[in-house]
Amino acid sequence: MTADDDWVQTFGTGALLGIAAGAIALLLFLIMYLRVHAFLALVLVSLLTAFAARIPAESVVPTLVGGFGTTLGSVALLVGLGAILGRLVEVTGGAQSLTDALIRRFGEQRAPLALGVSSLVFGFPIFFDAGLVVMLPIVFAVARRLGGGVLRYGLPAAGAFSVMHVFVPPHPGPVAATELLGADVGLVIAFGLLIAIPTWYTTSYLFGLAMGKRLVLPVPTILSGGPRAEDHENPPRPGTVVALLLLPLVMIFTNTGLDAARAAGWVDGEASWFQVARALGSTPVALLVTVLVASYALGLRKDAVEKLTDSALGPVCAVILITGAGGMFGAVLRAGGIGDALSDGLTDIGLPVFAAGFVIAAALRIAQGSATVALTTAAGLVQPVVQAGGFSAVELAAIVLALAAGSVIASHVNDSGFWLVGNLMGMDVRTTLTTWTVMETTISLVGFGLSAVLFVLG
């Protein structure tokens, strides 16, 4: 629930942007200098921002609760179930077994590359946050085994999920932009992969190695529910662990395929079997099924499963609440009209549509946090110009990817993903800004540069 539909924002663009800048500055001051807990700081600043933006008093609390609840609806189940799965795999020795197999196959020096490539593959059908919580227990196990800190292994993996989420359908942002601009989804997938892979290699893999040398951070225990589990004499085989990790991906990807078949008219989207299959292939259900299968396949006793579940859920509660509060802050910025004011001010800036779309998407991302909202909104704003421009199929795909690049820039405190990555990897706000925010910005700039080359050649 957001501000009343009848309410009209009377502040101008400058005032609204000033409110947004002041809110972000206050948030950083509270967290970094006064050491206020991030959850409390986000709730407080969200409340103050809502009043400063003159959101009607009767709509302030519904806006806060709506933004918080919407974010939790998508994050809490994924993080909770992912944490349970990670704990099950770790405590049975499965993570260590897969770690040993990766090291034998790729060697210790190429372990970050192996984890990153695996994350690229896993990131094709699965959303960013779900993929991250499934993959991080393996990342942490490798980091513990080989040493060198968590960033050396975690940033390449997180960056892989990020580039796939923002550039490649079937993820919601590029799908929506593709449909709005009338681009060919096959070309967007092909060129999205062509841009995503080299972008990941330069901005996430190489950057992760460099930052890992500069900042050697300890490996968190947050997804393991406590200290590292003891080594097992008979751990699960690596193939069993890989099968468990692939199970939710297969279910989710099947769900995506069914939706594509419905859109193409191959199946009846109203059929009961279709609706049931779609429900079973949703991300929370896929993770739930995987947790249940893992409980059986890994040979755990019933009482052991209950204890492991309790130990896994406790540490991630703070992550879930902080992420939800980040979503609350972004919702207030949107409800206050800050994103709309910014887009209105940028629509008539006189740049070519390719560059203007990137700038608009980037500004919206910085203002309100959500990459999907920024990409979808920017595509809607440039849609009339694109439709009248007579662009080729390749140029349309390049425009979609340019907007996607803009939508990922400068992840910071109003982005729920910022808090998710920072807390899961055990980073404070300052460290998250100097690592994750910088990496997301380089992903944006390199992706835009490559899409510009594609646009010129198209």
**Band of residue 17 on the pLDDT scale cut at 50, 70, 90:** confident
Contact 415, 38 (CB under 8 A): no
Each residue's pLDDT tens digit, 114-145: 999 888 877 875 678 777 887 888 899 889 88
Per-residue pLDDT at 257: 80
For residue 69, with 0-12 CB atoms within 10 Å meaning exposed, 13-18 middle and 19 or more buried, which class applies? middle
For the chain, the three-class secondary structure string (H helix, E strand, C coil) is: CCCCCCCCCCCCHHHHHHHHHHHHHHHHHHHHCCCCCHHHHHHHHHHHHHHHCCCCHHHHHHHHHHHHHHHHHHHHHHHHHHHHHHHHHHHCCHHHHHHHHHHHHHCCCCHHHHHHHHHHHHCCCCCHHHHHHHHHHHHHHHHHHHCCCCHHHHHHHHHHHHHHHHHCCCCHHHHHHHHHHCCCHHHHHHHHHHHHHHHHHHHHHHHHHHHHHHCCCCCCCCCCCCCCCCCCCCCCCHHHHHHHHHHHHHHHHHHHHHHHHHHCCCCCCCCHHHHHHHHHCCHHHHHHHHHHHHHHHCCCCHHHHHHHHHHHHHHHHHHHHHHHHHHHHHHHHHHCCHHHHHHHHHHCCCCCHHHHHHHHHHHHHHHHCCHHHHHHHHHHHHHHHHHCCCCCHHHHHHHHHHHHHHHCCCCCCCCHHHHHHHHHCCCCHHHHHHHHHHHHHHHHHHHHHHHHHHHHHC
Q: Using CA atoms in the order 49, 55, 59, 61, what is the torsion angle rounded to 10 degrees?
A: 10
Mean pLDDT of 388-394: 86
Per-residue pLDDT at 325: 82
Per-residue pLDDT at 228: 46
Each residue's pLDDT tens digit, 402-415: 999 999 999 998 88
Each residue's pLDDT tens digit, 333-352: 778 887 666 666 655 566 78
> Quick check: 239 pLDDT over 50?
yes
Contact 379, 160 (CB under 8 A): no
The pTM of this model reads: 0.72
- The answer to whether the bond into 137 is cis (omega within 30° of 0) is no
